[in-house]
Structure 1
């Protein structure tokens, strides 16, 4: 878990670098130069504009459609992540036994622990870093989506529901929804997990707070992306982990009695 937190911080640092790779006020066009512009930002901008034109220049609806398409594209990775997470939970008792067996902190014992742990992962077909792969893929898309929204002038000129897409949500409804839905989605992902460690508990609260802070500062169009994406992921998690969530709920209900 510590490695995942370090990786998350590294990705956030990379995102900061990427967000500064281009002038945020420079309009994105098919003639924009550079790998980032040509293969990430412009395709997303074109996709948003394409669907908006199909639906009477409704850019809010277009962002919802593109968000769902992005989530469908990475769905196989998310399914793999959930399956890998479940496999990790199943072998936790064996991992704890290994840690007890090799509890000494000397270098030789710790190397033996690492070897035995990796052998256990290979035996059960578990990849301890698989949970980070969707994040690695999503982050450039998210930053690219931010650039596409900021640099596609047509988006800033349109509104959706109660907000202007190019401005912050005036009532902060979307940022709060994005944070709440992020919390719910993570909570569902943890359903059925026993002995949740302090790092996971910290991330459970840290991620929603970070999302709210970012969403308050960013255009409402990006908050809309977060809200729709989280709703998709909640439904996805309920479908894939439905039995685990029901068992966890029944166990919690029985404990209360």
Structure 2
């Protein structure tokens, strides 16, 4: 679990680093060269612009539609992640027995615990790192989406009034600016919490820390990043909540309550 937290912090830092490693002041064009612009940024910008024009220049609706399309694109990976989480949840009683059996903190005992744990994963065909793969897949999409928002003139018009362009608004906020009322960041944080709660495997302290750390990080990012990106997070979270509900049922996170009854000395 500590590794997952470290991975999350590393990925969050990578987002901040990578957003500053490219020329975000240059509008995206079809003629943009390299690998990043033509294969990641421009397709997302073109897709948003095309959908928005078909919807009467509603870039807010275009972002919602593109977000849903992206989520559908990575849906097989997310389903795999959800099933992996459920499989890990089912193994919690057995893992707890191993932790109790090898409770000593010396290096030899801890190595034995790791070996037994990995053997348990292999026996039940569970990959504990399967939940990390969708995060890696989403990173270039998220960063590309951020650049597409920043570098699409229709969404983020030039500051110079002489250059033309009007900021695009959706509901109560401008897409190119942070939400002045912090409503969208709060919704992003709340939906992230619900999603994490539905996916939570166990009640150990590290998992609970993750449950609160992730929403706080999302709220912090959404409070300063363009509202268009916060809108992406909100819609993506809602998609994940619905997906998790239909895959695992409404009682996800509660299945672990009756499982301790199978523990103890008796083991089938």
TM-score, scaled to structure 1 = 0.89
State the SS of the aligned residue for 1:114. Answer: helix
Shift of 1:70: 0.7
Q: 2:208 aligns with which of 191, 197, 201?
A: 201
Q: Tell me, yes or no, if the aligned pair for 1:15 and 1:140 is still in contact at 8 Å.
A: no
Please give the per-residue CA displacement for 1:52-91, whole angstroms capped at 9, x wherever unaligned.
Answer: 1221211111000000001111111111111111111111
CA distance 1:166–1:40, change in 2 (3 Å): same
Structure 2: unaligned runs, 5 residues or longer: 157-166, 259-268
Q: 2:176 aligns with which of 162, 166, 171?
A: 166
Q: 2:64 aligned with 1:57, yes or no?
A: no
Shift of 1:16: 2.5
**Correspondences of 1:16-31 after superposition (within 5 Å):** 16-31=16-31
Shift of 1:198: 1.0
Q: 2:236 aligned with 1:226, yes or no?
A: no
Shift of 1:249: 11
**Correspondences of 1:70-219 after superposition (within 5 Å):** 70-156=70-156, 157-190=167-200, 193-194=201-202, 196-219=203-226
Take 1:121 and 1:242, find their aligned partners in 2: how far apart are those partners? 24
Take 2:253 and 2:9, find their aligned partners in 1: how far apart are those partners? 33
Please give the per-residue CA displacement for 1:69-121, whole angstroms capped at 9, x wherever unaligned.
Answer: 01111111111111111111111222222223333333333322222211110
Take 1:87 and 1:126, find their aligned partners in 2: how far apart are those partners? 7
Q: Corresponding residue for 1:254?
A: none
Shift of 1:152: 0.4
Take 2:87 and 2:43, find their aligned partners in 1: how far apart are those partners? 36
Please state which structure has a larger fraction of its residues in helix: 1
Equivalent residues, number: 248
Shift of 1:248: 5.4
TM-score, scaled to structure 2 = 0.86
Q: Corresponding residue for 2:245?
A: 238
Take 1:124 and 1:249, find their aligned partners in 2: how far apart are those partners? 18
Take 2:135 and 2:215, find their aligned partners in 1: how far apart are those partners? 15
CA RMSD of aligned residues (A): 2.0
State the SS of the aligned residue for 2:208. Answer: helix
